[in-house]
């Protein structure tokens, strides 16, 4: 289930790309599949071990020349050279980081002039509903510590030196699922309504029925759970 539009990001085969806060690796896998030289970066060693295994399993099915590796570390001190990456994805990670401005500065530092960045975070309205319905949803170790407005996130990244190029919304079908979960208990997976909606989402992801794809296109701009902002780093000149 991808959040970032890689065509809009401008990803090309052979480019050096970073998935910062990769988690289970969904965006890293897609960039690798498209022929990029991918670094999946996270602070969770266990998740990175699984990502590495999946990279190895994909090796025979990716374009010639594609490379993939994992790197464990701190988002506030990225272990990469200035301007090392052509494209960077930071999906659903900044809302977890107390020092988000420092993390943004690091993303800008390692992005090359002319390179592009995609940042996704939970969208304000669906997220505020979740917070109102359930403290358990966000009051967990490593959980969400802020809710961004579009203007706040855009301004924090542009003040760090990038140019805002556009926005998108994703996962409109998923927002009601989390409202249900927050209403009945975020760990109450056996609730009939939560279980039924989860089956619907699994069907959507696995089978991609046209009716649900069409419904998603309607719901994304209205209640899409994720907000995606795209930026470009100005050329050095």
Res. 237: pLDDT tops 60 = no
pLDDT tens-digit profile of 5-30? 999 999 999 999 999 999 999 999 99
- For 207, the token pair is 């089978």
Q: Kindly report the CA angle at 211 between 209 and 213, in degrees rounded to 5? A: 70
pLDDT at 1: 86
List, in order of start, the domains of the chain with CATH numbers.
6-232 (3.40.50.150)
- For 219, the token pair is 């719901």
Q: What is the SS3 assignment for 49-73?
A: HHHHHHHHHHHHHCCCCCEEEEEEC
pLDDT tens-digit profile of 144-176? 999 999 999 999 999 999 999 999 999 999 999
**Nearest alpha-carbon partner for 119 in 235, 5, 236:** 5
- pTM for the model: 0.96
In whole angstroms, what separates CA 153 from the centre of its chain? 14
């Amino acid at each position: 289930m991808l959040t970032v539009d890689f065509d809009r990001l401008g990803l090309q085969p052979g480019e050096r790309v970073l998935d910062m806060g990769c988690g289970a690796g969904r965006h890293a896998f897609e960039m690798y599949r498209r022929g990029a030289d991918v670094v999946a970066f996270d602070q969770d060693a266990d998740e990175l071990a699984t990502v590495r295994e999946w990279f190895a399993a994909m090796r025979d099915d990716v374009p010639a020349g594609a490379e993939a590796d994992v790197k464990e570390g701190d988002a506030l001190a990225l272990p990469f050279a200035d301007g090392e990456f052509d494209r960077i994805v930071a999906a659903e990670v900044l809302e977890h980081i107390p020092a988000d401005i420092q993390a943004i500065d690091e993303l800008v530092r390692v992005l090359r002039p002319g390179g592009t960045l995609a940042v996704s975070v939970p969208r304000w309205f669906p997220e505020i509903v979740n917070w109102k319905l359930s403290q358990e949803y966000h009051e967990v170790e490593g959980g969400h510590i802020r809710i961004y407005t579009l203007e706040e996130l855009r301004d924090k990244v542009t003040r760090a030196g990038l140019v805002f190029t556009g926005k998108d919304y994703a996962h409109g079908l998923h927002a009601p699922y989390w409202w249900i979960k927050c209403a009945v208990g975020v760990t109450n997976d056996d609730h009939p309504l939560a279980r039924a909606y989860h089956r619907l989402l699994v069907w959507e992801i696995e089978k991609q029925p046209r009716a649900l794809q069409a419904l998603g296109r309607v719901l994304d701009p209205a209640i899409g759970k994720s907000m995606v902002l795209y930026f470009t780093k100005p050329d050095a000149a």
